[in-house]
């Protein structure tokens, strides 16, 4: 459906509709108002920010496709044009590299590894409200970033496993991760404690962990972090609904490397074990309800982290997707 202005709403075959709203919203160039340069595109964003944010609130995610975003520097300008405050990536588990400005690589784990569904940094107290992804180089195959509506997953789980969800809401979750000093690029959670806390000073690391509500136990090889109990179900005040705000499935099925056993990486807040059958079925529900749109070079995806979980599928290289986090 077209509208006057710089953007028109488009449709893709992978989109789904929830409560009459397309998910995600897709914006494409308006032929009547072409945007030929990155400066024109960022100017259009500033002019129509209220419209974009309205789509983001109703849909949960907005995909910009067909715009002149070619480089990391271009992407940085796009992020800056929204005027959101940057959130430093302190406490997150994924190995990332700063590219330019407030732009980082997305999770650098090997291409044959899937990254399960999660809300960004749901395992720490300070998390981004919004996140941007940019496809600088599309993969030969695979490599989608599937997205799924969090309140929809909560409702599905509440209906199917009411006792489990009740316990989850009462006790929350505890996340446990073992870290080395340096980063391990072979692991999806391979960020060492030096980069996790952006320091090599143990005292400073402990202070930064404490601000996140996290405890550090030092080991001969590195550190063990304990986060929680922390809420696994939150209430989205802006939309007045409960959301499945956790990294439970990601931790239980994906926090696996030479240091970490994923089945021990997350527990109920009372330290009792999670039921494997429920976790595995939750993974199935997430996959069944998600939307996975193949990346195209130049795509920019804006996600409301209060509304949407995301993941990453395995892929055939090359693939380069960049990210930026906002408070």
- Give pLDDT, residue 109: 81
Burial 229-253 (b: 16+ CB within 10 A, else e): bbbbbbebeebebbbbbbbbbbbbb
| Helix H or strand E encompassing 202 | helix 202-211
pLDDT above 80: residue 92: no
DSSP 54-86: HHHHHHSEEEE-SSS--SHHHHHHHHHHHTPPB
DSSP 247-282: -HHHHHHH--SSS--GGGSEEETTSPPPPHHHHHHH
Q: Rounded to an integer, what distance in angstroms lies between the CA atom of residue 110 and that of residue 100?
A: 22
Given a contact cutoff of 8 angstroms between Cβ atoms, the answer to whether 120 and 305 are in contact is yes
Burial 144-161 (b: 16+ CB within 10 A, else e): bbbbbbbbbbbebbbeeb
Tell me the per-residue pLDDT of 266-309, one tens digit each, with 9 for 90 and over. 999 999 999 999 999 999 999 999 999 999 999 999 999 999 99
The band of 2, judged by pLDDT with boundaries at 50, 70 and 90, is very low
Sign of CA dihedral 283, 284, 290, 291: positive
Least confident span in 2-11, 191-200, 213-222? 2-11
Which of 189, 175, 193 lies closest to 258 in space, CA to CA? Answer: 189
Residue 21: strand pairing partners: 18
In sequence order, the 6+-apart residues with CB closer than 8 A to the CB of 279 are 248, 249, 252, 253
Tell which wins on pLDDT, 242 or 106.
242
Quick check: do 7-112+128-146+294-326 and 150-287 share a fold?
Answer: yes
pTM of the model: 0.94
pLDDT above 90: residue 250: yes
The pair of structure tokens assigned to 182 is: 């340096």
The band of 4, judged by pLDDT with boundaries at 50, 70 and 90, is low
What is 150-287's CATH number? 3.60.130.10
- Give pLDDT, residue 317: 96
Sorted by where each begins, the domain ranges of the chain are: 7-112+128-146+294-326, 150-287
Given a contact cutoff of 8 angstroms between Cβ atoms, the answer to whether 185 and 193 are in contact is no
Which of 7, 211, 182 lies closest to 91 in space, CA to CA? Answer: 211
Three-state SS at 292: coil
In sequence order, the 6+-apart residues with CB closer than 8 A to the CB of 80 are 42, 101, 102
Q: What is the mean pLDDT of residues 3-10?
A: 85
pLDDT above 90: residue 79: yes
The pair of structure tokens assigned to 158 is: 């509440």
Count of H-run helices and E-run strands, the chain? 9, 21
DSSP 118-175: E-TTTTSSS--SEEEEEEEE--SEE----EEEHHHHHHHHHHH-HHHHHHHHHH-EEE
Cα 35 off chain centre by:
28
User: In the predicted model, what is the mean pLDDT of the chain?
Assistant: 95
How far separated are the first and last CA of the chain, in Å rounded? 31
What is 7-112+128-146+294-326's CATH number? 3.60.130.10
Residue with tokens 């929830």: 18
């Amino acid at each position: 459906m077209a509208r006057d202005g710089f953007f028109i709403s488009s449709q893709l075959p992978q989109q789904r509709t929830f409560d009459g709203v397309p998910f995600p919203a897709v914006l494409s160039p308006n032929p009547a108002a072409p945007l030929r340069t990155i400066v024109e595109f960022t100017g259009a964003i500033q002019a129509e920010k209220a419209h974009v944010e309205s789509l983001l609130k109703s849909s949960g995610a907005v995909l910009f496709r067909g715009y002149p975003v070619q480089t990391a520097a271009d992407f940085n300008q796009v992020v800056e044009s929204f005027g959101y405050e940057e959130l430093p990536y302190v406490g997150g588990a994924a190995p990332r590299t700063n590219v330019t400005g407030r732009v980082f690589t997305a999770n650098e784990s090997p291409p044959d590894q899937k990254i399960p569904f999660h809300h960004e940094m749901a395992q720490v107290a300070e998390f981004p409200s919004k996140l941007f992804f940019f496809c600088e180089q599309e993969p030969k195959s695979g490599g989608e970033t599937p997205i799924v509506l969090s309140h929809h997953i909560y409702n599905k789980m509440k209906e199917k496993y009411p006792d489990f969800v009740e316990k989850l809401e009462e006790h929350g979750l505890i996340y446990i991760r073992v870290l080395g000093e340096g980063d391990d690029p072979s692991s999806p959670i391979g960020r060492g404690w030096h980069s996790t806390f952006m320091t090599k000073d143990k005292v400073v690391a402990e202070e930064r962990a404490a601000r996140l509500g996290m405890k550090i136990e030092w080991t001969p090889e590195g550190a063990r972090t304990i986060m929680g109990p922390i809420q696994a179900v939150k209430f989205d005040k802006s939309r007045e609904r409960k959301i499945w705000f956790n990294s439970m499935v990601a931790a239980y099925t994906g926090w696996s490397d030479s240091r970490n056993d994923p089945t021990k990486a997350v527990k109920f807040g009372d330290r009792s074990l999670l039921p494997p059958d429920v976790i595995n079925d939750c993974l199935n529900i997430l996959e069944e309800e998600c939307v996975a749109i193949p990346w195209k070079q130049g795509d920019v995806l804006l996600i409301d982290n209060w509304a949407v979980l995301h993941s990453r599928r395995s892929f055939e290289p090359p693939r380069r997707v960049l990210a930026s986090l906002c408070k």
